[in-house]
């Protein structure tokens, strides 16, 4: 069962054309449901502009009617009921052009800001997709590295176990060495199974983004050099994030929309002035009354003029909406301040993640060299009898742990670089291409 489980994990990485980060990103852009939702939201947001503009443009309406009339009327003093039957019809066309409607102008300004807000939210979704893809991609690479390390460690411990058994058989070592090697072998075997399971989970997570199964991935080049962020100044990144972060831009648009809403509601107290014009025709067919036909008629009418409306009292509702708009504007201002602070925090965390990651990578690279030297020394010492088996096993453990930690530090540093640019609102596909160049 264990061999079958590991075979499944191997099958997902073998005999598959390896994809790079850009291929995975483009697959995700075409498949990911969250990003598809953001695209639709952008299209919907852009429709706010023609909706707001409509309040400044004229409205034109056409109406028509036809009515059959059957009337009975009686004169006084009574002379009897006089019936009349006739058909009347008519049509009319009306035009209204707002000349002064402050609420409509404020609504138009809000629609322009709503489009800006929709575009910044889409940019945020695009950057979020890039980060989610990079994180899922790197999670798979780290899971692969962890599994490879576990297998290499298991193989090395198996050799040490075999050596301990031979030495025990010839009497140059105690049974303790064999038991220690066997215990370490069993532990590593369990770690290998856990690593294989984690790799499957990470691959399924990536599949959720791309919709592709069993996709092999290119790995990081050996001995790659990760460059420091440019500019190499945390204060500049913080300042850039407070201005360019998509969440800040969206909050800024929300605040300005709320500010226009205050103006719009206050405009509810102002008069409105419209240009109105109409053209109509009313027709009446021949009327039949007491058997006598009376001639029909056509009436044409054309009007044009100005229409002024002055609000006087609306039960206090308009004043309440004024106060509501002011409170919501204060809320939007606080949300904007919070967005700037969060963006600054993200920039600081990402910058420190890059700089500390680079230092960690350098330290682990040197640590790996030292760990390998220590392993060689312990092996030699074990052969000549100045080191015991547990010393060799511990040295092996240190080498493989350092290898895994070094791979994780490199991937975490690259992720922090992308997060730093996302915090400043400058993360684009070219940044993924730069990371992609580090793959082989």
Q: Which long-range contacts (CB under 8 A, 24 or more apart) does 423-426 make?
A: 423/237, 423/241, 423/245, 423/343, 423/346, 423/347, 423/350, 424/237, 424/240, 424/241, 424/244, 424/245, 424/347, 425/123, 425/127, 425/240, 425/241, 425/244, 425/245, 425/246, 425/248, 425/249, 426/240, 426/244
Q: Evaluate whether residue 418 is within a structural domain.
A: yes
Pair of tokens at residue 250: 């969206």
Pair of tokens at residue 417: 């670089």
Q: Evaluate whether residue 75 is within a structural domain.
A: no
Nearest to 30 by CA among 210, 262, 173: 210
So what's the pLDDT on residue 183?
87
So what's the pLDDT on residue 264?
93
- The length of the chain is 440
Q: How far is CA 300 from CA 59, 283, 318, in A?
A: 22, 9, 41
Separation of alpha carbons 98 and 55, rounded Å: 8
Separation of alpha carbons 211 and 203, rounded Å: 11
Beta bridge partners of 62: 93
Q: Evaluate whether residue 182 is within a structural domain.
A: yes
Q: Evaluate whether residue 364 is within a structural domain.
A: yes
Helix axis angle for 317-384 and 389-424, nearest 10°, is 150
Contact 374, 398 (CB under 8 A): yes
So what's the pLDDT on residue 13?
44
So what's the pLDDT on residue 11?
46
Contact 108, 366 (CB under 8 A): no
The list of the chain residues with pLDDT below 50 reads 1-15
Helix axis angle for 102-170 and 33-46, nearest 10°, is 170
Q: What is the DSSP letter of 57?
A: S
> Omega before 386 cis (within 30°)?
no
So what's the pLDDT on residue 245?
95
Q: Evaluate whether residue 76 is within a structural domain.
A: no
CATH number at residue 427: 1.20.1600.10
Q: What is the pTM of this model?
A: 0.85
C-alpha 44: how far from its chain's center?
A: 16
Q: Evaluate whether residue 91 is within a structural domain.
A: no
So what's the pLDDT on residue 291?
59
Separation of alpha carbons 391 and 375, rounded Å: 9
Host H or E run for residue 315: none
The 3-state DSSP class for residue 211 equals coil
Separation of alpha carbons 267 and 103, rounded Å: 6
Q: Evaluate whether residue 266 is within a structural domain.
A: yes
So what's the pLDDT on residue 15?
43
* Structural domain of 340: 2-55+101-270+311-436
Nearest to 245 by CA among 91, 67, 424: 424
Total number of domains constituting the chain: 1
Nearest to 87 by CA among 64, 63, 69, 65: 69
Question: Model confidence over 390-438: pLDDT tens digits?
Answer: 788 888 888 889 999 999 999 999 999 999 999 999 999 999 999 999 9
Q: What is the DSSP letter of 316?
A: T
What is the torsional sign of CA 382, 387, 393, 394? negative
């Amino acid at each position: 069962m264990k061999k079958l489980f590991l075979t499944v994990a191997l099958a997902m990485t073998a005999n598959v054309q390896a994809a790079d980060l850009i291929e995975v990103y483009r697959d995700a852009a075409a498949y990911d449901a969250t990003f598809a939702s953001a695209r639709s939201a952008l299209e919907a947001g852009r429709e706010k502009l023609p909706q707001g503009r409509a309040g400044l443009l004229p409205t034109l309406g056409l109406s028509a009617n036809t009515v059959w009339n059957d009337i009975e009327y009686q004169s006084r003093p009574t002379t009897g009921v006089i019936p009349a039957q006739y058909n009347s019809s008519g049509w009319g066309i009306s035009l209204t052009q707002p000349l002064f409607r402050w609420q409509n102008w404020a609504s138009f300004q809000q629609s322009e800001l709503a489009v800006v807000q929709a575009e910044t939210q889409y940019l945020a979704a695009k950057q979020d997709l890039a980060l989610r893809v990079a994180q899922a991609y790197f999670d798979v690479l780290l899971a692969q590295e962890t599994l490879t390390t576990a297998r290499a460690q298991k193989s090395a411990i198996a050799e040490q176990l075999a050596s301990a058994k031979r030495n025990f058989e010839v009497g140059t070592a105690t049974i303790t060495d064999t038991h220690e090697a066997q215990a370490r072998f069993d532990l590593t075997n369990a770690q290998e199974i856990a690593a294989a399971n984690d790799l499957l989970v990470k691959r399924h997570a990536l599949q959720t983004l791309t919709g592709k199964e069993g996709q092999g991935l290119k790995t990081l080049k050996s001995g790659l050099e990760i460059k420091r962020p440019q500019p190499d100044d945390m204060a500049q990144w913080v300042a850039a994030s407070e201005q360019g972060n998509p969440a800040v831009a969206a909050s800024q648009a929300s605040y300005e929309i709320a500010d226009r809403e205050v103006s719009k509601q206050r405009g509810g107290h102002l008069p409105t002035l419209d240009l109105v014009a109409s053209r109509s025709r009313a027709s009446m067919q021949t009327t039949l009354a007491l058997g006598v036909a009376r001639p029909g008629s056509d009436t044409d009418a054309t009007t044009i003029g100005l229409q002024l409306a002055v609000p006087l009292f609306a039960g206090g509702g308009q004043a309440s909406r004024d106060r509501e708009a002011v409170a919501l504007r204060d809320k939007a201002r606080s949300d904007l301040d919070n967005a700037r602070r969060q963006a600054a925090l993200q920039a600081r965390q990402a910058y420190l993640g890059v700089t500390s990651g680079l230092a960690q990578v350098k330290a682990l690279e040197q640590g790996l060299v030292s760990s390998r030297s220590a392993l060689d020394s312990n092996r030699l010492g074990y052969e000549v009898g100045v080191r015991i088996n547990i010393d060799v096993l511990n040295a092996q453990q240190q080498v493989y742990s350092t290898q895994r930690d070094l791979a994780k530090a490199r991937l975490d540093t690259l992720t922090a670089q992308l997060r730093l640019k996302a915090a400043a609102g400058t993360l684009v596909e070219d940044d993924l291409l730069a990371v992609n160049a580090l793959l082989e």
